Amino acid sequence: MDTFRRNTLAFFLVFSLMTTPLSAFAVGAPTLTLAQKVQALAAAVGRLGGYRSSAWLSHEDRTDVIESAVAWLVAAQEEDGHFRYEYMPYEDRYLDDDNIVRQAGAFYELGEVLRRGQGDEEAITEAMFSSIGYFASLTQEGIYEGKSFRCVTDPTSPARCKLGATALALVGILSFVESEYYQTHYDDDLADPDGKDYGHLTSGYASFLTALQKENGGFRSTFVFGRDVQSDTESSYANGEAFLALARYEQYRSDEKIQRSLDTAFQHLKNDVPFDIPLYLWVMAALVDINAQEPRPEYEAYARAYTDWRMAGFTDMRETKHNMCAYLEGIVLGYDVFDGSLPPSARAPYRDEIEFWLAKERALQVAGRDRYRVMFDGRTASFAMIADPERAYGGFLTGEEEFTQRIDFTQHCLNSYLVWDDVQEDDSQ
């Protein structure tokens, strides 16, 4: 945006503030000084169309985003390893919502950072120790169709295990125990009775995935203890999360049975399941690993076709104010599967789409510039202040006008920048 247009917008915003009533945004919100109000106003002007003129992010920019988001996730964790799910930074309070799969997703994401050696590795390791303890406390043993397993139960329904939660917990533990930092700093007998690889959990969780896999290659999404007959219902999310977990476990413990399960699952997802949004992200995450280990044209063709479909459905979404990091993460992962098979000219549309959304979504990451904020509700303007920067900075807002921070949105945003940083590094070599 050019200087004239920015100054014009600033004039109208100042005029609006002068001619509309002001109110406190939250109960107990402090009265801001004139200087603080000016800071809030300047930040508001800076956000007016700011992402449209943003240059592509540098490695240093991405590193700043990653490190801040990691710090936010770690700060959101409680002593028992549970992550506080949703925070209102301008009211300094957590909401009561929760979701066991998204708890596992936050843990999974810390593992993705640690396995790449980014962020504060000591702080991440301590947080992941706590998370493993939390999931272990929710773990139950069971048997289904003659197969013994372990699974993560849902605290809101203790007799129920969700496949997605167990799958992502498994991936998180594998990333944890395979990380260079963990291998370097911790002794074999440190973690649990089976040694530092948490073998009783990883093998038990992997057995749960294969126990719930159906003959067609798909997965039952839940298991309920005490029922003789389990529902055959599949979930796109759970199918993708289980597919990813099997891919990681096969790399960790090479096994012909796991490989057959993977192959059967892929054929089912490719041939029997129509393209849909919930499945896309997690299947792309799995294919990044599978194709890197054993490249196949069918993986790349499927990933590209699926990515083209996903992007085609988003052509009119660039003006949205909602957090779209889940979309962005999927595109980044999909591109990572097939970019090596494309000539530079064919890569451009994907790279342009990714860079646009990286710049746009970065504006949703709360930082020092957002300490004081002016907000509008119709023709009523109000000022607000972040009371606890340590809790707020680094997390991603739910939207430009939705002032909450959730662990799942921050997870998806963080992974977008993390994976894209890998892609950029690979392309430069």
| CATH number reported for the structural domain that contains residue 146 in this entry | 1.50.10.20
Instruction: Extract the runs of DSSP E, i.e. beta strands, from 48-178.
Output: 86-88, 93-95, 139-144, 147-154, 157-162
CA distance 122 to 343: 40
Domain that holds residue 5: 1-75+296-429
User: Residues 229, 366: one domain?
Assistant: no
User: Residues 265, 374: one domain?
Assistant: no
Average of per-residue pLDDT values in the chain: 89
| Residue pLDDT, tens place only, 165-176 | 999 999 999 999
Residue 380, in any domain of the structure: yes
pTM for this model (two decimals): 0.91
Which pLDDT belongs to residue 20?
A: 47
User: Residues 104, 245: one domain?
Assistant: yes
Domain stop point among 218, 239, 273? 273
User: Residues 197, 165: one domain?
Assistant: yes
| Segment among 49-58, 111-120, 271-280, 304-313 with least mean pLDDT | 49-58
Can you read off the two tokens belonging to residue 189? Answer: 């007998």
Residue 405, in any domain of the structure: yes
Give mean pLDDT, residues 144-150: 96
Give mean pLDDT, residues 38-51: 72
Which pLDDT belongs to residue 17?
A: 52
CA distance 206 to 373: 47
Residue 156, in any domain of the structure: yes
Residue 89, in any domain of the structure: no
Can you read off the two tokens belonging to residue 239? Answer: 């199918």
Cβ neighbors of 21 (< 8 A, separation 6 or more) are: 380, 381
Question: What are phi and psi for residue 347, nearest 5 degrees?
Answer: -80, -25
User: Residues 144, 267: one domain?
Assistant: yes
| Residue pLDDT, tens place only, 220-276 | 999 999 998 999 999 999 999 999 999 999 999 988 999 999 999 999 999 999 999
User: Residues 69, 100: one domain?
Assistant: no
Number of separate domains in the chain: 2
Which pLDDT belongs to residue 428?
A: 61
Residue 313 CB: number of other CB atoms within 10 A? 12
Give mean pLDDT, residues 84-109: 96
User: Residues 31, 116: one domain?
Assistant: no
Q: Which of 44, 103, 109, 37 is nearest to 71 (CA)?
A: 109
What sign results for the dihedral spanned by CA atoms 264, 285, 105, 188? positive
pLDDT above 50: residue 280: yes
Residue 339, in any domain of the structure: yes
User: Residues 165, 255: one domain?
Assistant: yes
Which pLDDT belongs to residue 50?
A: 56
Amino acid at 335: Y
Q: Which of 203, 120, 196, 211 is nearest to 163 (CA)?
A: 211
Which pLDDT belongs to residue 22?
A: 47
User: Residues 325, 404: one domain?
Assistant: yes
